[in-house]
Amino acid sequence: MSRLSTTMPRDEIVANLIAGLIVGVVAIPLSIALAVAVGVPPIAGLYTAAFAGGVAAVFGGSRFNITGPTAALVPLLAHAVLRYGVDVLPLLGAMSGLMLVAMWRLRLGRLVRFMPGLVVVGFTAGIALSIGFGQLNTLLAVTGTDPSLEHFHQKLIDTVRHLSTVRLQTPLVGLLSLVFLFRWQRTPKRIPGPLIVVLVATVLVQVLGIETPTIGSRYGELPRGFPIPDLNFLRAARLDLIIELAPLAASIAILSGVESLLSAVVADNMAPAFGRHDPDRELLGQGLANLVAPIMGGMPATAAIARTATGIRNGATSRLAGVAHAVTVLAITLLFSGLGAQIPLSALAAILIVVAWNIADFPEVTHLLRGAPREDLVALLGTALVTLFFDLTYAIGFGIVASIVLLLRRLTRMPSVAAIVAEEAADGWIPDELVTLLKAHPDVAFFNVQGVLSFHSAAEFERALIGHDHRPLVLRMRDLHHIDASGLIMLRGIIDQRRHAGARIVLTDVQPEVLMALRRFGIIGIVGPAAVFARAEEAVAALTGGAIEEVAG
């Protein structure tokens, strides 16, 4: 846990306050832009950064994470708004918050980190493309498009069909903003580029009298007062609606957990001297943040990697920076929200396109496409394509299933059992004494069982041993580390088949965990305690008429 501010040196307190102030200023234009991208009033993004950000900073498991609206959630939330309307977002946020709290209670923080990396990359790339191309209409001020279209390809085709409605002034504002942002971010600077773009674009539009859509022309004036807690959204929480929203809420909760834990890992690597984050507590913090945000007029949130990194680069060392970020956003919102109505939407679109480019990490995607195993690209590209062209709630599920299938395919290629003959064994990987015994007794079948004997390898194990021959059989299990129910059933069937054919079978070098499983399943009782040996040499000697030394009962 972070040190309390009362125990921190004064210079460290000042450094965290300054870092929080800088991140808060960075968060304001991003929060507005992300709210607009979702299709909700801009004030919702600011309230999310303020209240969800403050709660997560206090109760989360990372001292560095900065929480607020993020691009990763935009397609999911925009999909919800398009299908169910704006009024469903508070309920959706509360449901995802409860799910995150349940994940904390079940201590799933460490499990979330096992999300396949290619799935995260593919999903993020799909989200980035969806956000980037989704801002074309706003960037160019395309009119006449159909707002009810959901899927990427439908929107893109619709945009191309209406390009004739574009006028010069609005695209010029957006494209100049885009060029400036890309050039500005090439070298880190203390003044955030999005803030400069918002201020300069707003002033130029007003001074030059450029006719272009603004926040005020689309959403009206931003509220200036402190938000009043509101629980009225619970009145719409009908059971049928909750059931219908559950898959979408689960996707938001999973993505929020994964994104927040990834951000925490990045922060740990940037500041290794301050210890590691608590993954379960981070889920709790994000859950509470998503419960508070809808009550205060916000939307679902998660930790933002870019804003977290900005805080660390500017001196953040504790949760105080996250709290200062939240207070900064709220203070500026209350004092200067009246000016926000004049911000041109094309400038916000340019900001989101740059954000989409950054979160997609296209250089990393290109590197994976060139160097990753071809099979792995199925998970990466498949997840990205499902994210783009189909229901977003299925993308993560598809990626996980594809990764599991690919893993199982690789596991089935790994042999679980191998016959050992003296000539092959003489290369030094088994003891010389055993090699000598194998050469002297070719009438003994000797097999090495290895790895994991499970449902993925049981069939191959059976093919290797069933009907092999009727010689006495030694199963060396020194390299077998785990056996599950499928493996136990298959092993018992093999033992029954060989005993029925009159062939002896003994087990040797059995690992303690595997031996315990064999006892519980009754296999030791079938072969007999005298058929279990500590060393393969003793087993071979016993089968060939030497002295039998029982070592396992």
Residues 6+ apart with CB under 8 A from 174: 138, 139, 140, 141, 346, 347, 349, 350
Total Cβ atoms within 10 A of residue 430: 20
Q: What is the pLDDT of residue 468?
A: 55
Tell me the CA distances in angstroms from 373 to 76, 364, 369, 378, one per residue in order: 30, 15, 9, 10
Q: How far apart are CA 346 and CA 166, in angstroms?
A: 12
Q: Over 273-304, what HEC string results?
A: HHCCCCHHHHHHHHHHHHHHHHHCCCCCCEEC
CB-CB contact of 273 with 228 (8 Å): no
Q: How far apart are CA 394 and CA 68, in angstroms?
A: 24
Q: How far apart are CA 300 and CA 297, in angstroms?
A: 10
DSSP assigned state of 214 = B
Q: What is the pLDDT of residue 321?
A: 95
pLDDT digits (tens, 9 = 90+) for 423-469: 444 444 566 666 777 677 777 777 878 777 777 776 677 777 765 56
Q: Which of 515, 505, 520 is nearest to 477 (CA)?
A: 515
Name the one residue in this structure whose structure tokens are 């209670």.
Answer: 105
What backbone phi and psi angles, to 5 degrees, belong to 333?
Answer: -65, -45
Q: Which of 210, 65, 54, 53 is nearest to 141 (CA)?
A: 210
Domains and CATH numbers, the chain: 10-98+165-360 (no CATH), 417-543 (3.30.750.24)
Name the one residue in this structure whose structure tokens are 């029925």.
Answer: 500
Tokens coding 175: 């494209």
Residue % of the chain over a pLDDT of 90 = 22
Supply the pTM of this predicted model: 0.71
Residue % of the chain over a pLDDT of 70 = 88
What burial letters (b/e) apply to 90-122, b meaning 16+ CB within 10 Å? Answer: bbbbbbbbebbbebbeeebbeebeebbebbbbb
Q: How far apart are CA 68 and CA 56, in angstroms?
A: 9
Q: Which of 263, 262, 280, 331 is nearest to 49 (CA)?
A: 331
CA-angle at 293, arms to 129 and 87, nearest 5°: 75
Q: What is the pLDDT of residue 93?
A: 95
Q: What is the pLDDT of residue 547?
A: 42
Residues 6+ apart with CB under 8 A from 300: 48, 73, 77, 89, 92, 93, 96, 97, 252, 256, 290, 293
Q: Which of 294, 252, 274, 229 is nearest to 65 (CA)?
A: 274
Q: pLDDT tens per residue, the chain (553 residues)?
A: 444 444 778 888 999 999 999 899 888 888 998 998 898 999 999 999 999 999 999 999 999 999 999 988 888 898 899 889 999 999 999 999 999 999 999 988 877 666 677 777 787 788 788 878 888 888 887 888 877 776 777 788 888 888 888 777 778 888 899 999 888 887 766 677 888 888 899 898 888 888 888 888 877 777 878 899 999 988 878 899 999 999 999 989 988 998 898 889 888 888 877 878 999 999 999 999 999 999 999 999 999 888 898 889 888 999 999 999 999 999 989 888 777 778 888 888 888 888 888 877 777 778 777 777 777 777 888 888 887 787 666 777 777 787 777 776 766 665 555 555 444 444 445 666 667 776 777 777 778 787 777 777 766 777 777 655 677 888 888 888 888 888 888 888 888 887 777 778 888 888 888 899 998 888 888 888 888 888 877 877 777 765 434 334 3
Q: What is the pLDDT of residue 548?
A: 37
Tokens coding 259: 């994104």
The DSSP bridge pattern shows strands 302-303 and 417-419 to be: unpaired
What backbone phi and psi angles, to 5 degrees, belong to 451?
Answer: 75, -125
Q: What is the pLDDT of residue 45?
A: 94
Q: What is the pLDDT of residue 423?
A: 44
